[in-house]
Amino acid sequence: MKRRADVPPDAEAPGPGQESVWDYPRPPRVEASSRLVEVHFGGIRLAASRRALRVLETSHPPVYYVPPEDVHMECLLPSDRQSWCEWKGLASYYHLVAPAVAAVAATPVVVAAAAAMPGANAGRRAENGAWYYPDPTVPYKEIRNYIAFYPHAVDACYVDGEQVQSQPGDFYGGWITRDVVGPFKGAPGTSHW
């Protein structure tokens, strides 16, 4: 495959089963994922889904958007923060609040997950730890109200059991796994990408 002209010279070549963020499109593409996406926060599994949507954009690791039905929404509080994406439109944010385990322990699975998480912090808060698009632009209507989480704001995020690494910087929310190679936008000196 011929590489794009704007690929940095230190871009890694993808190996078998890997994707290069430099092969992702701009504008971004939305695609369904059947992989198990999990978010852990404050001693509970805050989100778990095999119905997430991935947004793939040049130079960025994938951002996973989780359907609200697969999120403990009682742990998300609306924030006043908003930001603008040139492609997807106006984003709104949620603060994450770790409740007492009993407040969300509606099933034995949640109780077991909470018990297995060391250092559960009931009442812990992550300001603007997640975002969503209540009214995205037409090409991105599939992600309407789906929730994306910043990996650096939570205890851990997983894709099919692999703990993800945060995209560099504090603005972008990409999830880095071993099947995605960079370099990734967000590190110092990459703002022009």
Q: What's the Cα-to-Cα distance from 157 to each of 1, 21, 25, 148, rounded to whole Å? A: 32, 19, 24, 11
pTM: 0.88
| Percent of the chain clearing pLDDT 90 (strictly above) | 75
- Both structure tokens of 18: 């890997």
CA distance 158 to 167: 14
User: What is the domain range of residue 26?
Assistant: 19-181
Residue 93: pLDDT over 70: yes
Interval 121-155: pLDDT, tens: 667 899 999 999 999 999 999 999 999 999 999 99
Q: Is 190 within the bounds of a domain? A: no
The CATH number of whichever domain residue 74 belongs to comes to 2.170.150.40
Count of structural domains within the chain: 1
Q: Is 14 within the bounds of a domain? A: no
The predicted model gives 78-95 an average pLDDT of 97
Task: Place 7 in a pLDDT band, splitting at 50, 70 and 90.
Answer: confident
Report the SS3 class of residue 29.
Answer: strand
Q: Is 10 within the bounds of a domain? A: no
Q: Is 93 within the bounds of a domain? A: yes
pLDDT at site 189: 85
